[in-house]
Structures are given as structure tokens and as C-alpha cells.
Structure 1
Amino acid sequence: MKKYILLLMSFFCLSLNFAQVGINTDKPALYAGLHISERMDPASTTPDKYNGIIIPRYTETQRDTELTPNMNTAQNSMLIYNITEDCYNYWNHAEQEWKSLCGALGKSQFTFDCAAIEVKGNYVRGKELDSSNYLAVPVTVTKAGEYTFYATTTNGYSFFVSGTFLKPGSYTIQAVGQGTPVVAQTDDLAINANGVEVNCTPPVRVNVQTDIATYTLICSSVSVHGTYLKGVALASSNNITLNVNVSNPGSYIITTTMLNGVIFTATGVFSSTGTNTVTLMGSGAPTVNANFDVTITSNTFAGNATCNAQIPITLPAMTYAVIGADNVYSWHPNNIRAKAFNSSSFGPSGKVKMVSFNNLWNTNNPATAITNLNGTVKPDVVLYYSFGLAPTAGLATALNNYVNAGGVLIYGTADNDANGTNTILNGIFGESNAQQQIAGTGSVDDNVYPINSLQNDPIINGPFGNTAGKYWGEDNSSTGTIIVKKLPANSVQVAAANNQFSKYTVDPSYSTVWYNDTKNFVYFGDSVGASETSTSELEYPSLYNNGVPLTKRYGQYPNQGTQAQFVYNSILELNAVALAIRKAATMGINPH
């Protein structure tokens, strides 16, 4: 009998070794090797207190030093809890690594400097936070993965952000603000990163302002200060000042939106009524090479709340090249025209604000011009008045390539050379609509042509003067000027090819001066002479005084006594150069 009892017990124990295991249940779920019930009493509907399972816990260092070296096929799918990562890990033998159950990457590891955290936006008692209110937090990520960051206050608002760092590196995260400040005070932020409280010394602080003042912006007082260069960070000298009329004291927020890389802001408290002066400090760095307007907005509830201001961009240092070395009919550095390229006209405080405008090279030799145009260093602007140096086929090709690559060309035609002009126009625009001027009747030399009344045109009404409704004068026989019968697409006629004196039979759609707004090309139908001394009505229609453009009475030989007009050639020329420089800075052949 004893033998039978021992045999039955052995069989029972053996059966248990291969049976399902239940904890808190004698009926493990089907196919479950281990079933831990949440109840001691199966009839109860209430889970027992403190029921759960704790699996082995390791720091990441312990895991890698104690477990990983011993992992093999038998341990495939082993489950542990990674204390460092705050997540479950399992061993994947095929890939020979621990996998995280907290997503593909698990929890990230990153550091940050409390002093580098920037509080963005303005905070006013009783005003709900919006998208402008956030914390900009530069972080250094040493391990990719999930992250959370939040900062709280006891004053009704907080900041939060979560996400995933896909790889280590430097990033700036933005913790978005939410809530409404209750009290006007300075709040210290309580910061938590990935579940860990961070003690910042000194603390990151937010200044909550008092109730909003009632005030009116005085737009006539707006003044922009400082120098603005593309890519150069703004300093304390870059600011906008304006006056406001305060009728009820309180806090204020006056700002511009971020535009072209810069923003201007001012916050504070008006403690007295009447006129107050506010300074909006600039920050950021301009991203453009052109003046632009910003709108100043304020949080006042009454009165004028917006004004406009123009940010004057100073253009970078640029260069020009001269083809045509004649000292009267060109832009040669020895010509009186080049005296206008001084700092008062083209400089940091000039009519055209720029660092400098310097001569790169000049030549009266077509072969040299071709070599230079094809060289590595390109001028920003080419000034080619072709009197005495009509374009050869090779020079025209080099100029065409230059313009089509983004270079800026101001071109004045040679007398009676429609073929040379058409070679250039065909290469740049694929059109050949130039011809010699029609003879007309009456005056046979030095005709004047009306400038269109386009008040907003940058050449007609530019920094050196308004020529709208005035005249431009040719400097040769009446048939020597090269006119263009049909302008390329996106071109602007500056001066027509007819006048009321002797060219009234010429089609007014024909042009003597024009430019193209797509290609960087300005056209003058004659390379006129320039002088500083001539008062003649029949020569040198471009008049300068030490670089300053002047007008003069000129033209309509032999009827100059009754038909001569004041011509604005020099002003039109410098306005054209100003446009050329702006085009070179924004869409030219060189990056600026």
C-alpha cells in the first residue's frame, strides 16, 4: 500500500510541475501559464488592496553590466524594469539589445541651462495666455526618446510641452503657456523635466503686469533709430520711439509682429497721465535687403491703437564695373558722374543707404571686358554707355550671359547702332525691336522726350528726385537715338519716343528710356555726355555739381529758343543706379 501512495504522490507532483499556476485563483485562465487574480475571494466584485506584480528592477548601468553579458537564446524576451528610463525593457536576442516598451525610443535624456530659458510674450493680470506666451528652452539631448517639460506657478497659469527627440543634438523646445494670471506680481517658475524637479538658481521668473492702461498712440511721433543690416543681430541702438497720450494709468504692451527676422517690443507701467515716451527695443536680425514696413500695435482699449514705421535696411558693400572709358560719355571713375558714388549719395547715411559702392574694374577694350565678365568675381552692376565702344558680338554674348545669370546692366546705346542694340536685346529677351529714331519734323538735334507721370516708379521718382512729367534729352542728331518699338514683357516705359515739338508723328508706345522688372536691365536710348560746367542748351544734357545731379534748360536745335525744356537726365541716371543697386542686393548675381 505504501508503494501505491508514494506512486500517486509522485504523479501528482509531476502533474503540478506541468500544470497552470494560479495566484488568488484556483481556476487559471485557459492557456495562461501564470494567472494572478486581482481578488482573493472569487465571489467578490472589489479588487483586493495592494494586488500587483513587481518584476526585477535595474538601473540602466546595472542592466548593461550585470545582465547583458549573460544574455543568450534562453533569455530571449526576458522582462525587466529600467529605473533609469522609467520603463519596461525586454531582451531581443535576434537584435542583441534591450527593447523599450515606452515606444521605439523610450525616455530621452537631456540637459539645459536655466539661465538660457527665455520667457516669451507679455503677461497681464486677468488676460488669458495665447500663442505668443511660451518658454523657449535650449536643450542638449544625449539620448533620443520621449520627453516632457512643464513649468508651473501658483498664479493661475503654467507651461507645458512633450514630444520626441529623434536623435541626440541641440534643440530649442517651446513650452506653451496656458491659463490666466490672477495677480500682478513676479512669479518664480517650478520646473519639471522628464518627471524630475529642477531647481533653478536664480529661478526663471515671469513678470505679470497690472491692469491695462488707457492710452492713445501718437503716430506722428514715430521715429526709427539704428542701422539695420541683413544678417546682423540688432543691438540696443536699434529701437523705435513714439509718444503716447495716457488718460488712465496702468500697464502697457506695445509691439510689432515678427517680420523679416526682427521684432520691436515695449512693456511697462504708465504711472501718470498725459504724454509719455515709449521705446520699443528691437531684437532678431533682418533677413532681407529691402526696406519694409512694420505695424506697431498696442493693448489699449480706447483711442488709436496702431501705427506704422519703416525699417530702413542698409544695403551691403557692392561693386560696379564700367565698360566705356570715355571721360564724358561713360561712368568711368574719372568721369564727373562717378563723383556721385560718394558716401553722401551711396553710403551708410546716403540717399541710398549702403555700406559702400566701389569700382571693381573699368575698360574700353571689348576683349578685356569679355574676360572680366566671364571671370570668377562678378560685379554687382555693370554700367555700359556704349558711345565710342559699340558692342561686338563677343561682348554682347558676355553681357547677355551676365544679365541672364542675375547681373544688373545699365545700358546706353551708341549713336546709330540699332544692330548692336538688337544683338543685346535678342540675347537677353529673345527680341529685336530696336531701330533708329524716326526723323520727324522741325528740330533735328538734341530732342527732348517727356518722362511718364508714374509717381510710384523707382526710377521716375527715386531717391535723387522726382522726374514725373519732366523731360529727358538725347545728345545727338534726331535719328541717332535708338528707340525700341515694343518692350519685352514686364517692362516699364520711363520716357516715350515722341514729343509735341518735332516727334509728334512717332508712336507714343515707342520708348527711349525703359527698364525690365524681371531681368535686371535698364535702357537709355543714347549715351549722353555729362558736364559740371556747361550751361549750353545744345550739349551735355547731364549736369552735375560735384556729384549732385542738376537740371538744365536744353534741346530742340535749331528751335531751342522757343522749344528747349528743363531736362532731368542726371537725376534719372542716379535713380536708375539706385534701382540697379537694390536689384543687385535682392535678386542679383552675387549673394547678399
Structure 2
Amino acid sequence: MRQPNFKQRLCIGITLKLLLLTAIIWISPTMYAQVTIGGNTPPEKAALLEIKDKKAATYGGETSTTGGLLLPRVILVDRNELFPFFDSALQGNNDYENIQKPAHTGLMVYHIGGNNLAAGAYLWNGEEWKKIEETMGKADLTIVCSNIKVLGSYVEGQSMTSGNYLEIKVTVNKPGSYNIMGTTGNNYIFLATGEFHIAGEYTIIATAQGTPQTAGTDNITLVNFGEEIDPTCKPPVIVASNIADYNLLCSSTVVKGIYKVNQPLNVNTNYLELSIYVNSTGSYSISSNTVDGISFYGTGEFTSIGPQTIKVYGQGIPKSTKTKKITLTTNSIGGTSTNCDVDILIVIPKKRILSLGTSDRALHGNAGSGGTADIFTYSGNFGTLESSTFKIEDPDIIGVTTGSITTSILQNHLQPTNPLDKPVDIVFITYNADLTANDSFAAGKMLAEYVKKGGVVIMYNEHMFNHNSGAPGKFIQELFDDAAAWGVEDVAGGGVLYKLPNYDDMILNGPFGDLRGKYVGEDGCCGDAFTYLPPSEIEWSFSSYDYSGSSSTSGNQSQISGFKAKNYNLVWFGDGGLGSGNGGTSDTSYPVALDASRRPISKLYGRNNSTRKYVENARFVANVLCWAFQQSEFNGINTK
């Protein structure tokens, strides 16, 4: 049989291949097309494309367990467009918008960065590119531009630190993820990412990165996933020039404004005035630590050398009435100063005081005569003025002008029967109000019980042991539970000088002055003194010894003419007129002296003209009142 020649065999082969290809094409629409890469095994049922494990062909080769799928690298042009896959000229075209965009749902790429889109894997959802990690979708949020705070010091050539950030208050209308970027065009940005799971009000912290290149004012553009949040909102950042060399003169610091609990500080009224000496010009940044909710901060430029006054501004909300001791720190190139401490006084809220006594000595007495009432009622001494020495809200004064203190007077104020009523915060007793002996000294027992519960008592009394069967003295016995606590009356006359102890507390070293080792004077006559008090109950005391140089005194160093209790809120002084004054020049009566503005001053006083000394009765009674308010606020019957 004759074999076909080569041309015949080739023709037959081509014919068979064409028939086979035709058959494949004919049956392919009915086949379920699946592809497996690696493994030489069929894919899982639902997989159109499956990458299976494959042994490495060479040492160090990658397999599906050590390698991954590398998506196409692209630069997306717009979050809401399929560019660059389509010509940007098609934007708005009906076929592109309504057919091609939905048709490409599920398209996945890797964006290498740029165009205000963070680098990463993106998935087209038919309307926009979604970053793969944006599992919640984009949050719908709004901002109030005026509430954005720029924190930290920004200086040309200085890299950002953790202290450089934006505090952005936002309203989240729809929960979702956010990717906020603040651009400045000056080589630094602000970034914040995260998720909101619930709609509401939030504060976002956007931290700064980079290094400002030039000094001046930068306006921040805020975008969320590449879309500008509010084109009208451009928070300014002041970038200062190179840092100045300057010194902070701490002792000249002036605190401006009124500070109250839960009242936000106002930069227009709550600030510090600082005295500065500038050695070389440049920028400055001065800040404080945050103490109990508040801090101070200020930046600026020194354009000339020499003494200058600047302001650093308060921020935050005071959380308590405790005095805030803040420490100021400067960025002077001459060295950082951290030893400048400033006390910020917080206004003590309104208190209720029971005032018992007569004339100008009592808190409810005759203001204008020059005594305690004048000191207390002048707002420059006690009040809410910026110039007030001690900051308090005007108290409610319950004044009772009486010579006899009975339980009927005390009951409703110390032990109110209505459970909704509170006892008074402070009891002030002065001349000539004396506890009575009625009902087995019941008034003194009631007062002692009040003190034991935290009540504050100021007691100026010169009728302790002989008057009313010694009822005032028995109050001390009841309080200290010591029957031996007793003394004598009339140990000192007018013009006697008592020397105050060297002890550091608010009474002896307080807002109105340091009185340690100084003198107070006896008013008129009849000073009392204890001959014994239990030492464990006394924090400090002063004796009845007369430092006036007079030979007629009967006082001595072993007697106590004034003391502060150690375990209770009680101070006692054996002279009912220690706080009396009439504006006169007597050197044996009315030892309180005030200036024309009713501020406490010293007075030359003493029964011996040749050895008279300046007495500090006015400042002393003022400091005692400061102590009483302080104790009632932090350790009182209504605040324990």
C-alpha cells in the first residue's frame, strides 16, 4: 500500500486540528470554566480561580503559603471615578456613569499613593473606591471650625513632637471610618484615623508629622479620605522663627481673671501676665503643666531686647476648689526654666455663717466703724473680684445680736430638724455673746457636738470661766473630754502685746500676710487664759505674757491666751475685742487698723509708750477667716 507523502500527512493533520478546535468551541458554552494555579488538583466547587500550594521548584522559591497575590499597581485619580482606567473626559457621560461604573463593581487594585488617597488595596463598589480596611464605610461627619484647637509649639526647622496636634470636635451623623489629614504646604501635616461606631459628639486628636520649613501663618486644609470636609474651614497655625534667649521673672507674675469650679477658662480674661527680659530676639513658647483640669500656654515673637510683658493664656475647666500650683516652663535657648511656680486661687462657693455678737466685731456688725465687719464685707478683701485677696462667693450671714447663746438660738442652725436642711458651715462668736448654763450647759454640749462633726468655730471670748457658771469654759471641757481644761479671767489689760508663734499654717502665714513671730494686741481689758489644756489637742498656741514692756501685766508664759485645735476646726482667743477697731489712734484699745480702702494694715500699739510695737490684729483676723472658709470647704461638716 502506498504511504501518503509528507504534504498529504500535513494536510490531514491540519484538518484534524481544525475539526478538534471546532468541537471545543461548539461545546465550550456548556462547560463550567474553572482554573487552578499550582497543585495539579481541581479547584473548589465555587471557585473560578484558585491558587493552590505548589512545591518550590528551587531552594528559596515561593509557594502559596509563603507568597501572595500581587495586585496591579496604579495611581487612582479620584475616589469617586474609575480613572485612570477610563478617560477623564467621560465624566458625566451616560454610558460611563450608568453602565461602566456599576459594571466594574468588584474591581480590585493597589493604589501606590497620591491624590489625597492613602496607599493601599482598594475595591470599587460601583460608586467609589473603598480602601479594603475601611470595613465600616466612610463616616458622615461635620465640624465646627471655631472649636478646633491647635496645640503645641511650631518653630521653623524644629520637628514635630507628641505635643503638636489638633483637637477637632466633630459631630458624627453616620457611623463609619475616618481618615483625616490636615495639610499645610509647609512640610508638615496632621493625621488621624479610626472608626466611629455610634453617631454623636466626639473629639479627634490629629497628630502632627514633619518639620516646618518657613516661619509665618499656615492655613490647614482638612480632608477625610481625600475629600475636603469644609472648604471654608482653614484653622491657622503660627510657625515661629528661631527661638529667642530670654529670662522669666517669676516674682512679677500676675494672675488675671476669676477661676470657678466647672467654669471653662476664657482666654480673654483668664491669663497670666509675665515679666520677661529678652537677651536675643526670636520666638518664644511658654507653657505650664496641667493641674486639676487647667493649664496655661502662650507663643509669640520677641522683636527687641530688654524688659517686656507678655501673656500666657488659660485653658481647661477647674475640677475642684483646691488652689492650683502650676509650674511654668520656657523654651529659651538660654536654658529651660521649670522653677517658676504660680498659685491659681479658685473661688470658694457660697457658705452659711452663724454670727453671734455685737458691734463692729461681729460679721453682721456695723460696717464702717473699722473693725472685723469692715474687713469682711469689703470685696477687695473677700469676694470674687480679680483684686480680692481671698476668693469667695458672698456668704449667707445669719446674724444674731445677743449676749446669751442658748440652744434655741443654735438648734436650727447646728442641728436642723428638717432632714433637707444642712447645718451652717461656720459659727463665729465674739464679744459679748456667751454660752449659757441653761439645761446643764446644753448649748455648749450642742456646740461641741457640732465641732466634732466637722463644724468650724471661731471663738473670741473673754468670759470663759466666771460668767454663766463657766459655761464657755465647759464647752472646751466637753469638746476635749477633759475636766482639767480650765483657766482664769482678767489676766491681761488693754495694750498687752501677745507674741504669735513661729508656725506655718494659713492663720499665721496666710493670704493677708506672714505673721509668724509678730504681735497682736489686747483690746481694752479683761483678757482670759487657760492654765491647762491637753497638749494632744493643741496644734499651736500663744501665751498671755505681755511683750509691751509694761511691768503691770499679770500674764505669763505658762498660760494660753489663744490656740488652734489640733483635731477639730476650732480656734479660740481670750479677748472678745481682738478684732475691734474704730479708725482711731488709741494704743490700748481698738487694735485693728485699716487703710483708706479697708485693707488690713499694722498699728503701733502697746501700754508702754516707749516700747510700743506694731500689731497685726487686722491681718490676723482676716487670716483666721480665710482658714475658716478653707476648712469648711475641704474638711467641714457639709463637705466631709
Report the TM-score, using the length of structure 2 for normalisation. Answer: 0.65
Q: CA deviation at 1:173?
A: 1.6
Q: Which residue of 2 aligns with 1:5?
A: none
Give the match for residue 521 of structure 1. Answer: 570
Change in 2 beyond 3 A, CA 1:163/1:497:
farther
Distance 1:565 1:41 in 2: 102
Residue 451 of structure 1 pairs with residue 487 of structure 2: no
Matches within 5 A, 1:186-205: 186-193=217-224, 196-205=227-236
Superimposed CA distance per residue, residues 527-557 of structure 1 (whole angstroms, 9 cap, x where no aligned partner): 447463898888x6755579767657568xx
Give the Cα–Cα distance (whole angstroms) in 2 for the partners of residues 387 and 48 of structure 1: 96
Residue 576 of structure 1: CA displacement? 0.9
Query: Within 5 Å, which residues of 2 pair with 1:39-54?
Result: none
Q: Is structure 2 residue 411 aligned with structure 1 residue 370?
A: yes
CA distance in 2, matches of 1:458, 1:554: 26
Give aligned-pair identity as a percent.
24
5+ residue gaps, structure 2, are 1-26, 73-101, 107-123, 548-552
Q: Which of 307, 312, 329 does residue 297 from structure 1 map onto?
A: 329
Q: Following TM superposition, by how much is the alpha carbon of 1:367 offset from its aligned partner in structure 2, in angstroms? A: 0.7
Per-residue CA deviations over 1:157-187 (Å, capped at 9, x if unaligned) read 3222334545332121211223322333443
Does the CA-based 8 Å contact 2:485-2:533 persist in structure 1? yes
Tell me which amino acid in the other structure corresponds to 2:540.
Q
Contact 1:233 1:283 (C-alpha < 8 Å) held by counterparts? yes
The answer to whether 1:437 aligns with 2:487 is yes
2:539 to 485, 492, 498: 492
Bigger Rg over Cα: 2
TM normalised by structure 1 equals 0.70
Q: Which amino acid aligns with 1:296?
A: L
Aligned position for 1:208: 239
CA distance in 2, matches of 1:276, 1:561: 48
Shift of 1:302: 1.7
Look up the equivalent residue of 1:23 and give its one-letter code: V
Cα 1:182–1:55 change in 2 (3 A) is same
Shift of 1:135: 0.6
1:359 is matched by which residue type in structure 2?
Answer: I
Q: How does 1:233-312 map to 2 (within 5 A)?
A: 233-289=265-321, 291-302=323-334, 305=337, 308=340, 310-311=342-343
Describe the superposition over 1:251-294 as per-residue Cα deviations: whole angstroms up to 9, x where unpaired: 22233333344433332233334444433334444445455444
The alpha-carbon deviation at position 211 of structure 1 amounts to: 1.8
Q: Secondary structure at the match of 2:186?
A: coil
Matched letter for residue 458 of structure 1: M
Shift of 1:463: 4.6
Q: Paired residues, what number?
A: 524
Closer/same/farther in 2, CA of residues 125 and 26 from structure 1, 3 Å limit: closer
Write the letter of the residue equivalent to 1:346. F
CA deviation map 1:430-460 (0-9, x unaligned): 6437622279xxx955496843442643222
The SS at the match of 1:24 is strand
Quick check: 1:314–1:355 contact (8 Å CA) kept in 2?
A: no
Whole-Å separation in 2 of the counterparts to 1:400 and 1:468: 29
1:214 & 1:492 partners in 2: Cα distance?
48
Contact 2:444 2:474 in 1 (8 A): no
- Of 196, 206, 215 in structure 2, the residue corresponding to residue 184 of structure 1 is 215
Equivalent residue for 1:346?
Answer: 382
Supply the distance in 1 between the matched residues of 2:295 and 2:69 (Cα, whole angstroms): 61
Contact (CA 8 Å) 1:28, 1:34: kept in 2 or not? Answer: no
CA distance in 1, matches of 2:394, 2:190: 47
The separation in 2 between residues aligned to 1:494 and 1:82, in whole angstroms, is 86
Distance 1:276 1:106, change over 3 A: same
Residue 50 of structure 1 and its aligned partner are, at CA, apart by: 6.8
Amino acid at match of 1:340: I
AA aligned to 1:432 is D
Distance 1:499 1:341, change over 3 A: closer
User: How many Å apart are 1:564 and its aligned residue?
Assistant: 9.5
Q: Which secondary structure state, in structure 2, belongs to the residue aligned with residue 481 of structure 1?
A: strand
Which one of the candidate residues 546, 558, 581 is aligned to 2:629? 581
Q: 2: CA distance between counterparts of 1:205 and 1:147? A: 22
Q: Could you tell me which residue of structure 2 aligns to residue 175 of structure 1?
A: 206
The AA in structure 2 aligned to 1:155 is N
Cα distance, 1:354 vs. partner?
A: 4.0
Match for residue 141 of structure 1 among 156, 166, 172: 172
Return the alpha-carbon distance in structure 2 between the equivalents of residues 552 and 249 of structure 1.
Answer: 50
Cα distance in 1, alignment partners of residues 175 and 483 from structure 2: 64
8 A contact 2:253–2:275 mirrored in 1 = yes
Alpha-carbon deviations, 1:11-46, whole Å to 9, x = none? xx9xx99xx994336979799443444569989979
Mapped contact 1:315–1:354 kept (Cα < 8 A): yes
Where do residues 10-409 of structure 1 align in structure 2 (5 Å cutoff)? Answer: 22-24=34-36, 32-37=44-49, 108-144=139-175, 146-165=177-196, 167-193=198-224, 196-219=227-250, 221-230=252-261, 231=263, 233-289=265-321, 291-302=323-334, 305=337, 308=340, 310-311=342-343, 313=345, 315-316=347-348, 318-319=350-351, 321-327=353-359, 331-334=363-366, 336-343=371-378, 344-347=380-383, 348=385, 349-357=387-395, 359-362=397-400, 364=402, 365-375=406-416, 376=421, 378-385=423-430, 388-390=433-435, 394-396=442-444, 398-400=446-448, 402-403=450-451, 406-409=454-457
**CA–CA separation in structure 2 for the residues paired with 1:518 and 1:163:** 54
Return the offset for 1:156. 3.3
Question: Is contact 1:108–1:143 with CA below 8 Å preserved after alignment?
Answer: yes
Read off the aligned partner of 1:515 and give its amino acid letter.
K
CA-to-aligned-CA distance 1:375-399 (integer Å, 9 cap, x gap): 4265443202385531665544554
Root mean square deviation, CA, Å: 4.9
Tell me, in whole angstroms, the C-alpha distance in 2 between the residues paired with 1:173 and 1:554: 67
The equivalent of 2:17 in structure 1 is none
Q: Write the deviation string for residues 106-148 of structure 1: whole angstroms up to 9, x where unpaired.
A: 7654332344322111211121222221110101234455544
Distance (Å, rounded) in 1 between the aligned partners of 2:561 and 2:524: 12
Structure 1 residues 354 and 332, CA gap change in structure 2 (3 angstroms):
closer
Contact 2:354–2:424 (8 Å) recurs in 1: no
Residue type of the partner of 1:374? Answer: Q
List per-residue Cα deviations over 1:226-262 (Å, max 9, x = no partner). Answer: 4444425334244333444444332222333333444
What amino acid is aligned across from residue 564 of structure 2 in structure 1? Y
Report the CA distance shift for 1:118/1:292 in structure 2 as closer, same or farther (over 3 A).
closer
1:445·1:475 contact (CA, 8 Å) conserved in 2? no
The equivalent residue for 2:119 is none
User: Matches of 1:40 and 1:565 in 2, distance apart?
Assistant: 103
Does residue 532 (structure 1) correspond to residue 582 (structure 2)? The answer is yes
Matches of 1:251 and 1:504 in 2, distance apart?
A: 63
What does residue 415 of structure 1 align with? 464
What does residue 117 of structure 2 align with?
A: none
Equivalent pair of 2:276/2:307 in contact (CA under 8 Å): yes
The whole-number CA distance in structure 1 between the counterparts of 2:358 and 2:560 is 26
Structure 2 letter corresponding to 1:324:
L
State the AA in 2 paired with 1:486.
Answer: P
Q: Where does structure 1 lack aligned partners over 5 or more consecutive residues?
A: 1-12, 59-79, 89-100
Corresponding residue of 1:9: none
Larger mean Cα displacement after TM superposition, 540-549 or 222-231: 540-549
